[in-house]
Structure 1
Amino acid sequence: MTTITVENIKKSFGDADILKSVSLDIKDQEFTVLLGPSGCGKSTLLRIIAGLESQDSGIIKIGDRVVSHLPPRERNVAMVFQNYAVFPHMTVFENIAFGLRMKKAPEKKIKENVERTAALMHIDHLLKRYSGQLSGGQRQRVAVARALAVEPDVLLMDEPLSNLDALLRLQMRAELKSVLEASKTTTVYVTHDQVEAMSLADRIAVMNSGRIDQYDVPDEIYSNPATEYVGSFIGNPPMNFISPDYQVGTIPAGATQLGIRPEDFNVSKEARDNYWPITVLTREKLGSHQQLSAELNGQLFRVNIPNEIEIESGNTLYLMPKEDKKRWYTEGGKIIL
């Protein structure tokens, strides 16, 4: 079993605290995504797990071994970077075999592992080609196959799809999860792309300024954001945060903000009891629905409504948040359960 345990990791560069006592438990064969904006500490945490950076304090365990002070080669991890790092003077076969040759693996094992991982990544027909003859997507597949070929306990991936165009990213995303499930490798994946995180992850760690605000399955993070930050980072458009001044019914003690997703409103074109009258500012047709920017007594928020509701900018519409979708937050931005 290959679990990863991160205990109270701290890291500073000069006066900047990059990681502030971060803890994380990753299960065997789990696909965990570290999600957050640039500068939140996600890549630094990944590099500390890999052994490419040293922590100021705290412990990293892989399985039952404390690896905090071991060099990368003794941690049995493999890493896939954003820039592929495929060697141009080598064939695809030799690129995939590179790590195994560094470990002085027998030729029979090299051949078996290269052919197996190339088949997993659907590049077994390209083994004799050089990288200059490959597309960006094919080079990325080579990088992943090379990492898997060494049979690592842990696979670490740092924004591996960010250099691909949108259509290719979609295709690679769809394939990557099934490939890693088949390889039974515990994986930690860094991205700033919430769609990537939601579609790939078994669990997501949402990072905010060197801390983890929430670590949970994607559905829970979307439905029950632990903090206002998580609600505002996850979702497109993000969760609305509205003053409870207009709320009818019980407001939990300590609540200062009502969180509600744009799709979680009851909508009426006619005035109804307890519905809010809103002014539509803009309307966008998005195919499956239309998205409104609206105003309620100076508060701006977004609403998704069905296409069949005919509405124009400047019109009044009446809304009420769905009771079971309301989420309440304290002044400090924490959810009230």
Structure 2
Amino acid sequence: MSTKLRAAIVGSTGYGGVELIRFLLAHPYVEITSVISSSASGAPIADGYPHLNQIVTERLDGIDIELIRGKADVVFLATPHGVSIDLSPKLLDAGLKVIDLSGDFRLKDGQVYEQWYKHKPAEASYLDRAVYGLCELFGADVPGAQFISNPGCYPTATILGLAPLAAKRWIDLKSVIVDAKSGVSGAGRGLSQVVHYAEINENFLAYKVNRHQHTPEIEQAIGRLAGEEATITFTTHLVPMTRGIMSTIYVNLKQARSEDEIFDLFRSYYEGRSFVRIRDKGKYPGTKEVFGSNYCDIGLSLDSRTGRLTIISVIDNMVKGAAGQAIQNLNLMMGWDETTGLTFTPVYP
């Protein structure tokens, strides 16, 4: 292609923003034309991220709609929750494509958003416009869209682990238990006591028990697939590692199924989906096996004694859970192969 798509990244000094930079620099059809930060405008991005020295030479722009419109065709919003509510409508009204990595437009019910995120919700018309971009499940909605709401990290791992079973209605959606763990990069680059080295090192803790804001996002997606309401128990834990999410999911089958049937279902459901890999029987994925990549690896184990199925789903929270999935959405939006710029082998060890 002769002319590259011009991309701006708002929130370039956060972990999600800098991961977008890493992937977009290798994308054959995209040129980064603006890196934007409201807190560090005017400074070279390498001041905060020395590993980008002589790779990204631009100074950080401030948030200026007219400036962005003059520089970009698509804008990635790697901003904290609450920022995109006001910013996304302005960018859309300026004729720009928007891919929002925050949670501000994932939930279609504004009241549910306000309950879980403790922010005033966006206008209903913009919530309706936002396409929920979990590519493996709802990718048909993405081509030609102007506004993508990128799924959350925990929901991506969990929904992909549950989707085949929910779509087939093989499980009781009122008894799903999700035990999820994340590395500390999911908390962002901002300082807080919980991610202080002395607090998290050699520690393992649960947080936001029964009140994590990703709960309704998972329920919304699973309910959409199943055509019925889903209610889950969702507990999150912080692990002393930098990257990775493991979502261990326990489900009750509605009727007896063999392990072969379950494996066949998962393999057929994700056939042709390049970034979802189903492990063989007796093999279970670890977070290091997807580190730095856009893969989601899933392992399965049926307990014939209880009739309960255990699903283990792992992703890199910064890639498949954020920047990689956003670029996967961009690829589908533009009509490109969805793997473009994303075929990195996981970093190991």
Larger Rg: 1
What is the TM-score of this pair, normalised by structure 2?
Answer: 0.27
Structure 1 or 2: larger strand share? 1
What is the TM-score of this pair, normalised by structure 1?
Answer: 0.28
